[in-house]
């Protein structure tokens, strides 16, 4: 994701009210196609959510159908189950640790890499960029060995730290050009006013970078929240499992009780859906207005 | 970019301290958890090692030659390459088409965009379980085919070695196309409506406008999508692992499922490390070549300057 760069300018261009065009006047066929695309995309999600309201015998005898009656039992059962909340809590703690470290350390490094001049700066930047090519999928196995040497297996904070390390490259690659674009005059003014460089960073640059910080924060959080392979390799004890790991385990554990699996899976979608509802403008605009072509 | 304009030696010491404070944590974290493992992997890959006890059985490059000459690993590489090809041939046109569609003014456009983007935000694990449920024998997909009179087309979606990889491709497309669409939508903002209007006034057909105006201007976005898609395809793991474990009979093995299968499941850590070094080398080679020859015009600086 070398390319996502939330600049205020790009976003303004994206938001500019467009004149009604002669081209692309929307035909019924286009509406139909758009609805079809959205429908096909949503279908699997609806299927799982709706089947979560049915009972397993009902599903077994009639694989596709509406719930009759709508049962809340599967959902309330899982919401009353400590296991679900433990998975959710683990995921949340890991994601918060990883996001905080990645954004905090990443912003500091991006500041140094964008607004100081020193020997080896570009080499150091290249060193971080290299990390874009080294996602957890490739490093996972050696990382497990390494973390076992550091006695960090089965430790949720240990995983948070490791995930933060993998989120750093994207964070720095997005933040550096953003911070570089802040006018020098602002920095000079701050220094003249006696703020010092670190004061300028803390009081002026960081607040100005809020949109970019939000973007990298969202990226780091979602990546951590969804990650599967690293937790799989790092956690042996089920009490440390994250939600993705939990969903997969739950499915094999209760493979006989389809309805319960459906409900569990549907509930694991909920955080993403809630997140999308709250952050929809941020994400979609952020990405649409923000990709540097 | 500004440079602190201080020349006194005290000032220089101060700058060094600031740099250490600002860069130290990130550098340590990155070196400790991202670079160290790959170094360790290179070291372990030269041994035959089961994960416990001292490294005594030095085998040189044997792990590498074993992997590169093994038929299952070859199959895995073929699957990754097939996935790259299918993505370029099917996902890319589909993403561009849907983005064009959703770029029009229409009622409920924001909602449709969110729906189309939603699978991208789901965890791979959840997506895999949802589809495993939908595709299981006699479940939703089979019933839907029956309902439209295509019972003859019902297959063992995840059990038939001839079909399983294509089934996975459909799931992968569902999961990731939202990201492509959002990227293309962003790219389309760079195609001014005036240009298209002018072409239309000059009598260009919609197809000609697409080919000669829109696609060239979408070029940078498409090239970046291809980059991300290839790297992603080479590292595919979660969806496959949860849905099929790379089976049946290795029919859906990818390089990374192969690595986990050997390294983690069978405790052949030395061998698995060699495979992970190979995967990294492939991705790295692709990235460098692609940056050099394709992306150079689009990305000013990010990778080309840095990795040189």
pLDDT tens digit sequence for B70-121: 899 999 999 999 999 999 999 999 999 999 898 888 888 888 888 898 898 8
Residues A211 and A219: their CA atoms lie apart, in Å, by: 12
**Which of A102-116, A263-277, B36-50, B67-81 shows the lowest mean pLDDT across its residues?**
A263-277
Burial A181-216 (b: 16+ CB within 10 A, else e): bbeeeebeebbeeebebeebbeebbeebbebbbbbb
Alpha carbons A115 and B192: distance in angstroms, whole number: 34
Question: In the prediction, which pLDDT does B236 show?
Answer: 92
Question: How far apart (Å, rounded) are the C-alpha atoms in residues B101 and A36?
Answer: 11
Q: Is B47 helix (H, G, I), strand (E, B) or coil?
A: strand
> What does the alpha-carbon distance between residue A171 and residue A173 come to, in Å, rounded to a whole number?
6
- The pair of three-digit structure tokens given for residue A172, joined into one six-digit string: 């720095």
Instruction: Measure the CA–CA gap between B117 and B122, rounded to whole angstroms.
Output: 10
φ, ψ at A4 (rounded to 5°): -80, 125
Residue A293 has pLDDT above 80, yes or no: no
The CA distances from residue A128 to A146, A158, A210, B145, in Å, are 20, 21, 22, 49
Distance, CA of A233 to CA of A185 (rounded, Å): 49
CB atoms within 10 A of CB B262: 24
Query: Is the model's pLDDT at B303 over the cut of 50?
Result: no
Q: Round to whole Å and give the CA distance between A248 and A262.
A: 12
What is the chain B residue with the closest CA to A197?
B4
pLDDT for the residue numbered B40:
87
Q: Let me know if domain A3-11+81-292 sits in CATH 3.40.50.150.
A: no
Distance (Å) from the alpha carbon of B183 to chain A's nearest alpha carbon = 7
- Least confident window among A6-15, A59-68, A239-248, B277-286: A6-15
Average pLDDT, integer, range B130-143: 89
Output DSSP code: residue A19.
P
* Higher-pLDDT residue of B118, A25: B118
* CB contact (8 A) between residue B34 and residue A161: no
Tell me what the mean pLDDT of segment B189-216 comes to.
85
| Top-confidence residue, A135 or A216 | A216
How many angstroms separate the CA atoms of A152 and A144, rounded? 9
Residue B160 backbone zone (phi > 0: left; psi -120 to 50: alpha; other: beta)? beta
Q: What pLDDT band is residue B291 in, cutting at 50, 70 and 90?
A: confident
ipTM of the complex: 0.82
| Contacting residues of A for B121, CB less than 8 Å apart | 222, 226, 272, 275-276
Tokens of A206: 């960081």
pLDDT at B299: 55
Contact B157, B164 (CB under 8 A): yes
Q: Is the pLDDT of residue A52 over 50?
A: yes
Paired tokens of B235: 């590292």
pLDDT at residue B252 greater than cutoff 50: yes
Q: What are residue B250's phi and psi, to 5 degrees? A: 65, 15
What is the DSSP track for B103-121?
Answer: TS--TTHHHHHHHHHHHHH
Specify the residue for token string 């910080």: A213
pLDDT at residue A205, rounded to an integer: 92
B97 vs chain A: nearest CA distance in angstroms? 10
pLDDT score recorded for residue B217: 87
The pLDDT tens digits for A69-81 are: 888 888 998 899 8
Calculate the alpha carbon distances from B10 to A188, B6, B13, B14 in Å: 20, 9, 5, 6
- CA-based torsion, B153, B155, B158, B164: positive or negative: negative
CATH fold label, B45-300 = MetI-like fold (1.10.3720)
A197/B242 touch (CB, cutoff 8 Å), yes or no: no
Q: What are the distances in angstroms from CA A282 to CA A224, A278, B123, B286? A: 19, 9, 20, 32
Does the distance separating the beta carbons of B116 and A41 come in below 8 Å?
yes
Q: Which residues of A touch B29 (CB under 8 A)?
A: 101, 105, 161, 164-165, 168
Query: How many CB pairs (< 8 A) connect A and B?
Result: 320
How far apart are the C-alpha atoms of B4 and A197, rounded to whole Å? 8
Cβ–Cβ contacts within 10 Å for residue A14, how many?
18
Question: A253 or B160: which carries more pLDDT confidence?
Answer: B160
DSSP string of B8-42? SHHHHHHHHHHHHHHHHHHHHHHIIIIIHHHHHHH
Smallest CA–CA distance, residue B162 to chain A, in Å, is 24
Range with the poorest average pLDDT among A98-102, B169-173, B242-246: B242-246
Helix axes B109-121 and A258-288, enclosed angle (nearest 10):
120
Cβ atoms of residues B210 and B196 within 8 Å: no
Predicted local confidence at residue B10, as pLDDT = 78
Q: Do A109 and B23 touch (CB under 8 A)?
A: yes
Segment holding A252, helix H or strand E = helix A243-253
Quote the CA–CA distance of A6 and A224 in Å, as a whole number: 21
- Which of B23, B117, B129 lies closest to A248 in CB terms? B129
Kindly state the tokens that stand for B157: 């979606």
B139-196 per-position pLDDT tens digit: 889 888 888 888 888 888 999 999 999 999 999 999 999 989 988 988 888 788 888 8
Contacts of B260 in chain A (CB under 8 A): 140-141, 229, 233
DSSP string, B213-235: IIHHHHHHHHHHHHHHHHHHHHT
Both structure tokens of B148: 């439209």
Instruction: Indicate if the pLDDT at residue A20 is higher than 50.
Output: no
- State the pLDDT confidence band at A22, using cuts at 50, 70 and 90: very low
The answer to whether A199 touches A190, Cβ cutoff 8 Å, is yes
Q: What is the per-residue pLDDT for A25?
A: 60
- Report the residue from B38, B178, B260 with minimal CB separation from A142: B38
């Amino acid at each position: 994701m070398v390319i996502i760069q939330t600049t205020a300018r790009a976003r303004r261009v994206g938001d500019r009210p467009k004149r009604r065009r002669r081209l692309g006047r929307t035909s019924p066929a286009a509406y139909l196609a758009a609805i079809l695309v959205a429908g096909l995309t949503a279908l699997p999600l609806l299927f799982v959510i709706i089947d979560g309201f049915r009972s397993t015998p009902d599903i077994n005898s009639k694989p596709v159908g509406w719930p009759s009656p709508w049962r809340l039992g599967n959902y309330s059962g899982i919401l009353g189950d400590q296991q679900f909340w433990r998975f959710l809590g683990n995921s949340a703690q890991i994601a918060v640790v990883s996001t905080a470290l990645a954004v905090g350390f990443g912003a500091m490094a991006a500041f140094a890499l964008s607004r100081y001049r020193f020997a080896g700066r570009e080499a150091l930047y290249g060193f971080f960029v290299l990390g874009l090519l080294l996602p957890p999928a490739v490093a996972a196995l050696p990382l497990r060995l390494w973390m076992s040497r550091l006695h960090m297996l089965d430790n949720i904070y240990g995983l948070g730290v490791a995930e933060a390390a993998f989120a750093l490259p994207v964070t720095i690659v997005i933040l550096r050009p953003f911070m570089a674009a802040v006018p020098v005059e602002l920095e000079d003014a701050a220094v003249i006013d006696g703020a010092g460089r670190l004061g300028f960073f803390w009081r002026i640059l960081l607040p100005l970078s809020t949109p970019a910080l939000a973007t990298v924060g969202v990226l780091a959080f979602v990546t951590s929240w969804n990650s599967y392979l690293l937790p799989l390799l790092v956690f042996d004890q089920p009490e440390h499992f994250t939600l993705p790991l939990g969903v997969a385990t739950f499915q094999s554990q209760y493979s006989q009780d389809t309805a319960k699996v459906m409900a569990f899976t549907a509930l694991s979608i909920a955080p993403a859906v809630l997140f999308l509802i709250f952050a929809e403008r941020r994400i979609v605009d952020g990405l649409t207005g923000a990709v540097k072509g | 970019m500004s440079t602190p304009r201080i020349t006194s030696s005290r000032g220089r010491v101060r700058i060094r301290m600031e740099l250490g404070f600002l860069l130290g944590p990130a550098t340590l974290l990155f070196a400790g958890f991202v670079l160290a493992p790959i170094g360790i992997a290179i070291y372990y890959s030269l041994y035959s090692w089961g994960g416990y006890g001292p490294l005594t059985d030095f085998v040189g490059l044997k792990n590498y030659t074993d992997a590169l000459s093994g038929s299952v690993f070859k199959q895995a590489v073929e699957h990754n390459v097939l996935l790259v090809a299918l993505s370029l041939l099917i996902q890319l046109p589909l993403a561009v088409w849907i983005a064009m569609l959703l770029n029009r003014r229409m009622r409920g456009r924001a909602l449709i965009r969110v729906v189309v983007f939603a699978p991208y935000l789901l965890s791979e694990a959840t997506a895999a379980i949802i589809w495993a449920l939908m595709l299981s024998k006699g479940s939703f997909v089979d019933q839907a085919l029956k309902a439209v009179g295509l019972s003859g087309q019902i297959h063992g979606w995840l059990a038939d070695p001839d079909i399983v990889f294509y089934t996975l491709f459909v799931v992968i497309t569902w999961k990731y196309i939202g990201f492509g669409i959002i990227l293309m939508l962003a790219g389309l903002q760079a195609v001014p409506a005036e240009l298209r209007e002018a072409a239309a006034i000059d009598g260009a057909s919609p197809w000609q406008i697409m080919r000669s105006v829109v696609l060239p201007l979408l070029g940078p976005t498409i090239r970046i999508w291809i980059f991300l898609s290839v790297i992603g395809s080479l590292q595919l793991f979660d969806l496959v692992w949860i849905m099929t474990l790379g089976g049946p009979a290795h029919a859906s093995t990818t390089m990374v499922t192969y690595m986990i299968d050997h390294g983690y499941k069978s405790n052949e850590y030395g061998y698995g490390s060699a495979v992970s070094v190979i995967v990294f080398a492939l991705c790295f080679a692709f990235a460098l070549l692609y940056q050099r020859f394709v992306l150079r015009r689009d990305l000013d600086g990010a990778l080309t300057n840095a990795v040189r």
